[in-house]
Amino acid sequence: MCTCRPRQCRAISSNAAWAESRVLIAFNKPFGVACKFSPEPGKQTLADFIKLPNIYPAGRLDTDSEGLLLLTDEGVLQTRITEPRHKLPKVYWAQVDGAATDEALAPLRKSVDLGDFVTLPADVRVIDEPAFMWPRVPPIRYRAKIPTTWVELTLREGKNRQVRRMTAKVGFPTLRLVRASIGFVSVESLKLGEWREIGADAPWRKI
């Protein structure tokens, strides 16, 4: 028996119906794949992997970046995922050039002036290479005398090439960039180039 008030019950039913009527796709985008469905000479696009009609990326992931991309057929849902005012955290794993330390990355935890905009404070920490990480094709450049470091950054905004610009600002250029999660949706259960349909409320619902 439902114990909620009539107005609450209507709201719950309305939200459930809204979620069921929308399509949301989680895709593990490989390096070198353009984040669009229209053809691009010499490059793979989303159309090479996803054959569903009338869906579009909810935000961008650069051609030279990898990992989680969400796609939907609904404009309101696309806005909720992409706009910073909805405060949906996005986690990135960056393999950077040099021996980065938590102390050296400390400026990124504050607002950083990148010239054309000032970033919001980010959560940043040094991590081990993720155990499930797939090999990149082609691999990053290797220099025997210069180490690399994996860094995890959590952002609540998404400016053009922001992560790369942030790590370069503190002296550690990004060599490889993987988006690990958007809200509660993670890339970890997806093989490279694989996609699956998820619930429209999945980015906000902790499983």
Give the pLDDT confidence of 179-195 residue by residue, as tens digits. 999 999 999 999 999 99
**How much is the pLDDT for 29?**
98
Q: DSSP letter at 145?
A: T
CATH code for the domain in which residue 67 is found: 3.30.70.580
155: domain CATH number is 3.30.70.1560
Residues 16 and 79 in one domain: yes
Q: For residue 102, what pLDDT is reported?
A: 95
Read off the pLDDT of each residue in 26-49 and give the average, rounded to a whole number. Answer: 96
> What pTM was computed for the model?
0.87
Residue 4 lies in a domain: no
Q: Same structural domain for residues 95 and 175?
A: yes
CA 192 – CA 188 distance, rounded (Å): 10
Does 14 have pLDDT greater than 50? Answer: no
Q: According to the model, what pLDDT value does residue 22 have? A: 84
Domain assignment present for 2: no
pLDDT for residue 52 is more than 60: yes
- What is the pLDDT, as a whole number, of residue 28? 98
**pLDDT on residue 207:** 65
Residue 109 maps to a domain? yes
In a domain, 3, yes or no: no
pLDDT, tens digit, 9 for 90 and up, residues 90-137: 999 999 999 999 999 999 999 899 999 999 999 999 999 999 999 999
Domain that includes residue 104, residue range = 89-182
Residue-averaged pLDDT of the chain: 88
- Radius of gyration of the chain from Cα atoms? 19
Give the model's pLDDT for residue 89: 94
- Determine the Cα–Cα distance for residues 200 and 181; give it in Å rounded to an integer: 15
More confident position, 84 or 143: 143
Note whether 72 and 128 are same-domain residues: no
Mean pLDDT, residues 76-85: 86
113 and 66 in a common domain: no
pLDDT at 41 over 80: yes
What is the average pLDDT across 165-171? 96
Q: What percent of the chain has pLDDT over 90?
A: 73
- What are the distances in angstroms from CA 168 to CA 95, 105, 165, 176, 180? 12, 11, 5, 13, 20
Which residues are bridge partners to 178 per DSSP? 66, 93
Token pair, residue 161, equals 């090439």
Structural domains of the chain, count? 2
Residue 11 has pLDDT above 50, yes or no: no
pLDDT > 70: what percent of the chain?
89
Kindly state whether residues 94 and 178 are assigned to the same domain: yes
pLDDT surpasses 80 at 87: no
* Catalytic site positions: 62
The answer as to whether 51 is a domain residue is yes
